[in-house]
Structure 1
Amino acid sequence: MKESTKTQQVGILGLGAIGHVIGAQLFQKSGIRLYFFNRSPRKKLQIQLPDGQELDHGIACMYHPQPIQLDWLVICLKAYHYPGASAWFKHLIGPETRVVVIRNGLQLTAPLSAYTSLSKLMPCLIDCPTQLADDGGYQQFQVARLMIPPHALAAEFQALFPSTAMTIEVVSDFKTTSWEKLCASAALGAITCLSGQPCRVFREEDIVELFRALVKEGLAVAKADGAKITKTYLEQEIEKTRHYPPEKGSSMLNDRQKGNQIEVTAKNGVISELGKKYGIPTPLNDHFTALLKMINQK
């Protein structure tokens, strides 16, 4: 596809780990003017890439909603941010704005359906372990892998990024891929968050078995919901977890350590909720959901 010579006005809403990963790559692409939006002020985009390269870009970040005409809005918010972000959506999503929601979970675009048409709204999953570093920036552990459905915006979105910056795959069965990401991230996040330990905890075999049991519960619900999980998926995820860097955490652990709200409802909570809907027992996810919700109430 031939790229347009017109400068693209691209906004990134949310400057956590995902916002930093996406922003760092778009900084390297010509023909793009970047805008950054965040609920708290940020003066720079600071991230260490998997190859050891450190990017440290000064940015002008807007933290109060105001109208801006954008060609693209890339939303990098967690699920619990959406109820408080309506003013951002109203000001930043115009009739021609193409909107991409980057988050792991189910029904990613549902909160945005009131602001734009489905033809201009695309979900995107991400596989890119990244966490807050001691210096206030972020550390990215591996090259980002983005997964998008067959959509009218797919090719244009792929063309936004440098060709070697990350993998952007069009996946035909987006529901299955969404469930696979959810089951693994919910299990890993809950275990690291409640143990207070990063992925070194998975050096313990009993914790690996707990991870296995949590993921199996999620997969049973996923299959009831129509996902087509392969027979090799579970063991592949277990092996991946065993080989994560021991210092790698999770977004749930990071939020607990920073005193932020933990993203439980959209992870273990949705597995429990849909388990009840389909009559699938999910005792482990039920218990983990209750415990994580207690942390949020403090």
Structure 2
Amino acid sequence: MPAAALPANEAERLAALDSYEILDTACESAFDDLARLAARLTGTPIGLVTLLDRDRQWFKAHYGLDVRQTPRELSFCSHAILNPDQALVVRDATEDPRFADNPVVQGETGLRFYAGVPLVNPAGHPLGTLCVLDHRPRQLLPEQVETLKSLARTVATALELRRAMREVRRMALTDPLTGLGNRPAFLAALRAAIARQRTTGGGFSLFYADLDGMKRVNDVHGHAAGDSVIQSAAGALRDLLGAEEHAARLGGDEFAAVLMGTVGLTVRAEALRAKVKAVMDSRAWPVTVSVGAVAFERPPADEDEALMLADQLMYSAKHEGRNRVACVVYRLDRSLAA
């Protein structure tokens, strides 16, 4: 069975596919309905919306076939995307040297007929296909092929709308100055951490940080310099976080972060304080940071209680002289321990 050649722009095509953040997502009725409609309008038992990943063919929608993915090397669609402007129609796979010995043809699946139209994004990259399949040889009428092409364009449009909606949501949850999450994004992450702890028992930690000396920077150097200070502090915070941890600018010169686990919280908070100081010293800005940190071995009542504890600790650090860290552990017995 000859494997399909890779498209000449495969790296760019995969990068485009990744940008949609759609692989391994849940079923969505818009795509399910189009796969079902494609099958019914062509009189075939199977309709799929496929996306070609690096080594697999993943199905965003699968009507008439109870499978979510197959190896890419077995995929008819890998051949279809090589000609993005055309439909690939295979009347009888047993008579086509590209597919005759394919396990999905020779095995119990017994596929014989395939018709697929590439899903081409605005940049011209074929992301996958809208395809229909049958267990017996057949042919489509020209008007059925045109219908399939029209539905494929609708699927491509649905992909673009989905990406646009995700981008709008992302922008609504992002602080434009720093690129960190904003307050609504942070509260959502904090609620998720509390819910996860109640379900799995795994602890989490919380930073609440406030910059010291911002008023002087704004008064002496101007608000453009103040913005640079905010961005530098955000970068220092971002650099200390793991992939599943969330940082946010809550407003003004206040930041917060939800951290996985409870071990080493004081060390991590001190690392943030030291990193912010080093960055500010390198720019001759008289700015430091005061940090309140709580390790939640048991879940707080809600996000308000969690923020209140961390906020109180941050103000305690400020009152003790600034450029300090104040940490406590929220224990299983509801007590606090330094």
Q: Choose between structure 1 and 2: higher strand proportion.
A: 2
Structure of greater relative contact order (alpha carbons < 8 Å, 6+ residues apart): 1
TM range (shorter): under 0.3
Work out which of the two has the higher radius of gyration on C-alpha atoms and give 1 or 2: 2
The TM-score normalised by the length of structure 1 is 0.26
